[in-house]
Amino acid sequence: MGRLKKATASEYFLSDVAALLLGLGLCLLLLFTAKYGVGMSDEGYYYTVAHRLTLGEHMIADEWNLAQLVHLLNLLPNILFLKLTGSTEGLILFMRYLFIAIDLIYYCWVYIKLRRWKLWGAAAAFLFCAVIQQILLAIAYFTSAPMAVLAVWLLLTADDKKKSIPRLLFTGLVMACGILAEPFLIVIFLLWFVLTLLREAKSKKQKPPLEDYAFLLNKRTFLWVTLGAVAMFIPYMVYLFLSGSFAGVGAAIPYLASGAEYNKGNLIDLGKFVLAADLYGLPALIALPCLLIAAVVFRCKKTENDRARRALLLGAAAVLAAGYAYAGIRLLNSKEEMLWVSFTQYNNLLLLLFSPIPFLLRKKKQPALFVLWLIGVLYSVLIDISSTVILASGGGLLRVACVLQLSVLLPELAREAPQLKKKKEKASPRPRRAFIAAMAVCGAAALAWNMGYLACTTVYKPVEKLFLHDPSPLACEIEKGPFKGLVTNENIYTIYNETLEDLDEVKRMARGKPVTVLDLAPFTYLYMDLPYGAYSSWYEFDEPERLAAYWGLRPAQQPAVIYIPYYRKNEFTPYTEEYLQWKLEGLQQFAQGSVTPAKQGYILRVERLRTALTEEWRSMN
């Protein structure tokens, strides 16, 4: 990562103390707030795939959701929890604490690898691990994939020693976990393969292309890392085949790549940038690209004008800080749900636009940091293509790359070039005080934004406060079910407990047979501990034909009972009577039986199912 000035013992001591204090502060904050808030539907869903496997069902064949691969990482903790407790009661709180432990261990490891950067290394490690959870303390694609990517980068670049074969094999194993968590990362792996081939093909030249990246584009490195990844994928594929995950899956292929939350066109949704512009303000989203273009022009001219470099960096930092300040003020004075959604999903957009500028203004190349930045950008775009989330996950990688780049750029810009006072006498370089002060203010604003994000997603909590803006206090502790131990408000506490009473009746009526819940309520499956009568616990009612096709292709999953909640469990807000009636009428198109009103939903005892594979269904539709 380039040569750094050797630090003194006192400088290492200062950075070690700072890293320790930051880690302890993060630990106390997360532990203190972990039990507050019931979370969104996402949190329950992250553990239902592993739960489904413990019931003897199968990945892919029974679970029609492209996001399922990452949840295999939750299988071992799920099995361990079931062995220790005998049920899923309290599972969500347990997984939150498990994530906190993993995150803090990872923070220590990242700091050790970045320790040579002193205080900057501590800041980079903290900014990555403090906000990696985004909204939820969960082992999911948005946490595990970026952690795997950063780990691979650190394993390959953190020191100048020749990498041993066991280390490269382990790096491949970590890379495989990252691709498992976010399959679109295979694109970055393929790009690495192509660039390695290009360099090897031209290696006979006196100075082959991409020579500055020889530390990474090395045939030996790539082959051993690939072997390590294959060593994980082969057992994984064997497990899928032997477990029956591909049994009869051929006819389901058209449905596997569909769903309400999947971007069918595989294109970037430009509408998201409109929401982001509303969050940060249009001037910031115009000014930063303009400054980026100016930095590119400046780089192409290869000028040594330090004053211009300082002006460009300071301008970009000021726009970044102003955008953060504008968004912060708007959020504190707003109760618009979509604005808070933008806050959680687009929190790194300004950083994405700002982060190339320090690389363009730096005189000396730093290939390792450039690689990390480029991966962060590609990852952000891939996340946007593969889901409804944009730029949130890749921001951790961008923050580390940007912080480390600024650590070498700022000292360079903060000093004047030596000038001659007298003949043959040089003046000592002196700091540019105004520049340093202005950058400190901008840095404080950026840091405040990240700390505000951390506070909102921990202290303020996502569902009750962050999205619903419910002023009632979080004072009711849940006593049973997968949310046992969590603290919420009285309204949600009542709805949750009455829903569990409905589910007890559903379990009695089902007698061990599959159950379908016609809404986005994954926690219901965790509570019932019965076979899933749906292609996924991630189900929204605008896909009845897909569900009917699933019942036709997977007869063993046809439900004995169907439960229709009165409340949207993602937000615990009531449906209108008209919407509930529409849901019942839609259900009766492919499921017939007796309907019983319960406390928080309708219970339908299934007498007959129509599936997409029957002539009766085709004639009706």
Residues in the chain: 621
Looking at 218, 247, 276, the residue that finishes a domain is 247
Residue 84 domain flag: no
> Which ranges of the chain have pLDDT less than 50?
2, 260, 262-267, 419-428, 615-621
The strand pairing partners of 476, in sequence order, are 488
Asked if residue 125 is part of any domain, the answer here is: no
Shared domain check, 361 and 450: yes
Q: What is the pLDDT of residue 256?
A: 74
- Tell me if 199 sits within 8 A of 208, measured CB to CB: yes
Give the separation between CA 591 and CA 603, rounded to whole angstroms.
12
Residue 97 within any structural domain of the chain:
no
Contacts 24+ apart (CB under 8 A), 207-213: 212/365, 212/367, 213/367, 213/371
Domain span holding position 506: 488-620
What's the confidence (pLDDT) of residue 354?
92
Q: Are residues 315 and 390 in the same domain?
A: yes
SS3 call for 562: strand
Whether residue 21 lies inside any domain: the answer is: no
Do 382 and 435 fall into the same domain?
A: yes
Tell me the pLDDT tens digit for each residue of 395-452: 889 999 999 999 988 888 877 555 434 444 444 455 577 888 888 888 888 888 888 8
Contact status, residue 340 vs residue 467, Cβ threshold 8 Å: yes
Query: How many Å apart are CA 290 and CA 285, to the nearest integer?
Result: 9
Q: Token pair for residue 301?
A: 């001219």
Which pLDDT value is given to residue 209?
64
pLDDT at 422: 45
User: Tokens standing for 193?
Assistant: 């393969």
Rounded-to-integer distance, Cα 199 and Cα 156, Å? 18
Residue 9 maps to a domain: no
For residues 515 and 511, give the distance between their C-alpha atoms in angstroms, rounded to a whole number: 10
Give the Cα separation of 179 and 323 in Å (integer): 33
- Same domain membership, residue 393 and residue 366: yes
Distance between CA atoms of 100 and 27, rounded to whole angstroms? 7
In 3D, which of 521, 618, 621 has the Cα closest to residue 562?
A: 521
Is there a domain that residue 221 lies in? yes
Q: Give the count of domains, the chain.
A: 3
DSSP letter at 464? I
Alpha-carbon distance 532 to 557, whole Å?
A: 6
Same domain, 300 and 352: yes
CA–CA distance, 364 with 275 (Å, rounded to integer): 37
Is residue 474 domain-resident?
A: no
> How far is 572 from 575, CA to CA, in rounded Å?
9
Our CA angle for 43, 44, 49, nearest 5°, is 110
449 with 589, same domain: the answer is no
349 token code pair: 């957009």
Question: What confidence tens digit (pLDDT) does each residue in 37-85 have?
Answer: 887 688 888 899 899 999 989 888 888 877 777 778 888 899 999 999 9
263, two tokens? 């971007």
